[in-house]
Structure 1
Amino acid sequence: MSGNRLLLVCLWGLVMMSALGVVHTTQQSRALTAQLGQAQRHRDELRYEQERLLLERGAWSAYSRIEQVAREELDMRAPTPAERVLVPSGR
Protein backbone atom coordinates (compact mmCIF):
# COMPACT_ATOMS: atom_id res chain seq x y z
CA MET A 1 0.00 0.00 0.00
CA SER A 2 2.87 2.32 0.64
CA GLY A 3 3.84 2.23 -3.05
CA ASN A 4 0.30 3.14 -4.12
CA ARG A 5 0.16 5.96 -1.63
CA LEU A 6 3.50 7.37 -2.91
CA LEU A 7 2.24 7.16 -6.49
CA LEU A 8 -0.97 8.94 -5.50
CA VAL A 9 0.99 11.72 -3.74
CA CYS A 10 3.25 12.13 -6.78
CA LEU A 11 0.28 12.29 -9.14
CA TRP A 12 -1.46 14.78 -6.88
CA GLY A 13 1.68 16.94 -6.87
CA LEU A 14 1.88 16.80 -10.67
CA VAL A 15 -1.78 17.77 -10.99
CA MET A 16 -1.25 20.73 -8.66
CA MET A 17 1.85 21.83 -10.60
CA SER A 18 -0.11 21.56 -13.84
CA ALA A 19 -2.96 23.62 -12.38
CA LEU A 20 -0.53 26.31 -11.21
CA GLY A 21 1.03 26.32 -14.68
CA VAL A 22 -2.39 26.88 -16.24
CA VAL A 23 -3.12 29.74 -13.83
CA HIS A 24 0.24 31.35 -14.55
CA THR A 25 -0.15 30.98 -18.32
CA THR A 26 -3.67 32.41 -18.22
CA GLN A 27 -2.53 35.42 -16.20
CA GLN A 28 0.39 35.99 -18.54
CA SER A 29 -1.93 35.75 -21.53
CA ARG A 30 -4.26 38.37 -20.04
CA ALA A 31 -1.38 40.73 -19.33
CA LEU A 32 -0.02 40.35 -22.87
CA THR A 33 -3.49 40.90 -24.33
CA ALA A 34 -3.77 44.13 -22.35
CA GLN A 35 -0.34 45.23 -23.61
CA LEU A 36 -1.38 44.42 -27.16
CA GLY A 37 -4.49 46.57 -26.78
CA GLN A 38 -2.39 49.46 -25.48
CA ALA A 39 0.10 49.08 -28.33
CA GLN A 40 -2.73 49.07 -30.89
CA ARG A 41 -4.25 52.22 -29.39
CA HIS A 42 -0.84 53.90 -29.47
CA ARG A 43 -0.40 52.81 -33.11
CA ASP A 44 -3.78 54.32 -33.99
CA GLU A 45 -2.86 57.60 -32.25
CA LEU A 46 0.42 57.73 -34.16
CA ARG A 47 -1.35 57.08 -37.47
CA TYR A 48 -3.80 59.90 -36.73
CA GLU A 49 -0.89 62.20 -35.86
CA GLN A 50 0.94 61.25 -39.06
CA GLU A 51 -2.13 61.98 -41.19
CA ARG A 52 -2.61 65.32 -39.46
CA LEU A 53 1.04 66.26 -40.01
CA LEU A 54 0.89 65.25 -43.68
CA LEU A 55 -2.17 67.46 -44.17
CA GLU A 56 -0.46 70.31 -42.36
CA ARG A 57 2.69 69.91 -44.44
CA GLY A 58 0.58 69.96 -47.60
CA ALA A 59 -1.11 73.15 -46.47
CA TRP A 60 2.19 74.83 -45.64
CA SER A 61 3.79 73.84 -48.93
CA ALA A 62 0.84 74.81 -51.14
CA TYR A 63 1.78 77.26 -53.88
CA SER A 64 -0.62 79.92 -52.61
CA ARG A 65 0.93 79.72 -49.13
CA ILE A 66 4.45 80.08 -50.55
CA GLU A 67 3.33 83.05 -52.64
CA GLN A 68 1.68 84.67 -49.61
CA VAL A 69 4.84 84.32 -47.49
CA ALA A 70 6.98 85.65 -50.35
CA ARG A 71 4.76 88.73 -50.70
CA GLU A 72 4.10 89.50 -47.03
CA GLU A 73 7.25 88.46 -45.20
CA LEU A 74 9.93 88.72 -47.88
CA ASP A 75 8.39 91.65 -49.75
CA MET A 76 8.77 89.83 -53.06
CA ARG A 77 6.68 90.30 -56.22
CA ALA A 78 6.52 88.89 -59.73
CA PRO A 79 8.66 90.83 -62.23
CA THR A 80 6.92 93.08 -64.71
CA PRO A 81 7.31 92.33 -68.42
CA ALA A 82 9.81 95.19 -68.69
CA GLU A 83 11.97 93.63 -65.93
CA ARG A 84 12.12 90.20 -67.56
CA VAL A 85 15.25 89.25 -69.47
CA LEU A 86 15.31 86.29 -71.85
CA VAL A 87 18.60 84.42 -72.00
CA PRO A 88 19.24 82.47 -75.20
CA SER A 89 20.12 78.81 -74.79
CA GLY A 90 23.67 77.82 -75.64
CA ARG A 91 22.72 74.99 -78.03
Structure 2
Amino acid sequence: MDGGERYEIGELARRTGVSVKTIRFWADRGIVPPTDRGPSGHRRWAPAAVARVDLVRTLRELGCCAGWPGWPSGSAGGWSTSSSTRPSPA
Protein backbone atom coordinates (compact mmCIF):
# COMPACT_ATOMS: atom_id res chain seq x y z
CA MET A 1 0.00 0.00 0.00
CA ASP A 2 1.28 3.47 -0.83
CA GLY A 3 0.03 5.02 2.43
CA GLY A 4 -2.33 7.39 0.59
CA GLU A 5 -5.83 8.39 1.59
CA ARG A 6 -8.43 5.59 1.63
CA TYR A 7 -12.22 5.63 1.96
CA GLU A 8 -14.23 2.97 3.71
CA ILE A 9 -17.45 1.93 2.02
CA GLY A 10 -19.68 4.40 3.89
CA GLU A 11 -17.47 7.34 2.96
CA LEU A 12 -17.33 6.25 -0.69
CA ALA A 13 -21.13 5.96 -0.69
CA ARG A 14 -21.48 9.43 0.84
CA ARG A 15 -19.10 11.01 -1.69
CA THR A 16 -20.79 9.40 -4.70
CA GLY A 17 -24.45 9.26 -3.70
CA VAL A 18 -24.51 5.50 -4.38
CA SER A 19 -25.76 3.17 -1.67
CA VAL A 20 -23.41 1.01 0.37
CA LYS A 21 -25.33 -2.04 -0.87
CA THR A 22 -24.70 -1.08 -4.52
CA ILE A 23 -20.99 -0.42 -3.94
CA ARG A 24 -20.69 -3.78 -2.19
CA PHE A 25 -22.48 -5.45 -5.14
CA TRP A 26 -20.13 -3.79 -7.65
CA ALA A 27 -17.07 -4.64 -5.53
CA ASP A 28 -18.09 -8.31 -5.25
CA ARG A 29 -18.31 -8.50 -9.06
CA GLY A 30 -15.01 -6.69 -9.64
CA ILE A 31 -16.64 -3.64 -11.21
CA VAL A 32 -15.34 -1.26 -8.53
CA PRO A 33 -12.80 -3.36 -6.64
CA PRO A 34 -11.43 -2.10 -3.33
CA THR A 35 -7.84 -0.85 -3.30
CA ASP A 36 -7.04 -2.76 -0.12
CA ARG A 37 -8.39 -3.78 3.26
CA GLY A 38 -7.84 -1.98 6.53
CA PRO A 39 -6.44 -3.56 9.71
CA SER A 40 -9.95 -4.67 10.68
CA GLY A 41 -10.51 -6.32 7.26
CA HIS A 42 -12.91 -3.69 5.93
CA ARG A 43 -12.67 -2.81 2.25
CA ARG A 44 -11.08 0.54 1.41
CA TRP A 45 -10.91 2.52 -1.81
CA ALA A 46 -8.45 5.10 -3.14
CA PRO A 47 -9.84 8.53 -4.07
CA ALA A 48 -9.83 7.52 -7.77
CA ALA A 49 -12.70 5.12 -6.96
CA VAL A 50 -15.04 8.12 -6.70
CA ALA A 51 -14.60 8.78 -10.43
CA ARG A 52 -14.98 5.08 -11.22
CA VAL A 53 -18.25 4.84 -9.26
CA ASP A 54 -19.51 7.96 -11.07
CA LEU A 55 -18.61 6.39 -14.43
CA VAL A 56 -20.32 3.09 -13.62
CA ARG A 57 -23.43 4.91 -12.39
CA THR A 58 -23.56 6.97 -15.59
CA LEU A 59 -23.10 3.91 -17.80
CA ARG A 60 -25.83 2.12 -15.86
CA GLU A 61 -28.22 5.04 -16.32
CA LEU A 62 -27.50 5.02 -20.05
CA GLY A 63 -28.23 1.30 -20.22
CA CYS A 64 -24.70 0.43 -21.33
CA CYS A 65 -24.08 -2.23 -18.67
CA ALA A 66 -26.72 -4.78 -19.67
CA GLY A 67 -24.99 -7.91 -20.87
CA TRP A 68 -21.79 -7.40 -18.87
CA PRO A 69 -20.74 -10.62 -17.13
CA GLY A 70 -22.20 -10.70 -13.62
CA TRP A 71 -24.46 -7.72 -14.31
CA PRO A 72 -28.28 -7.96 -14.04
CA SER A 73 -30.03 -7.84 -17.40
CA GLY A 74 -32.85 -5.51 -18.32
CA SER A 75 -33.25 -1.78 -18.62
CA ALA A 76 -30.88 0.35 -16.54
CA GLY A 77 -28.88 -2.72 -15.59
CA GLY A 78 -31.74 -4.15 -13.53
CA TRP A 79 -32.00 -1.24 -11.08
CA SER A 80 -34.58 1.44 -10.72
CA THR A 81 -33.39 4.84 -11.84
CA SER A 82 -36.36 6.72 -10.41
CA SER A 83 -34.07 8.72 -8.13
CA SER A 84 -31.88 9.70 -11.05
CA THR A 85 -31.57 13.31 -12.10
CA ARG A 86 -31.81 12.42 -15.79
CA PRO A 87 -34.27 14.50 -17.80
CA SER A 88 -37.47 12.74 -18.88
CA PRO A 89 -37.69 11.77 -22.56
CA ALA A 90 -39.69 14.26 -24.58
TM-score normalized with structure 1 length = 0.24
Q: Which has the higher helix share?
A: 1
In terms of Rg, which structure is larger? 1
**TM norm structure 2:** 0.24
Structure with more relative contact order (C-alpha pairs < 8 Å, separation 6 or more): 2
More strand per residue: 2
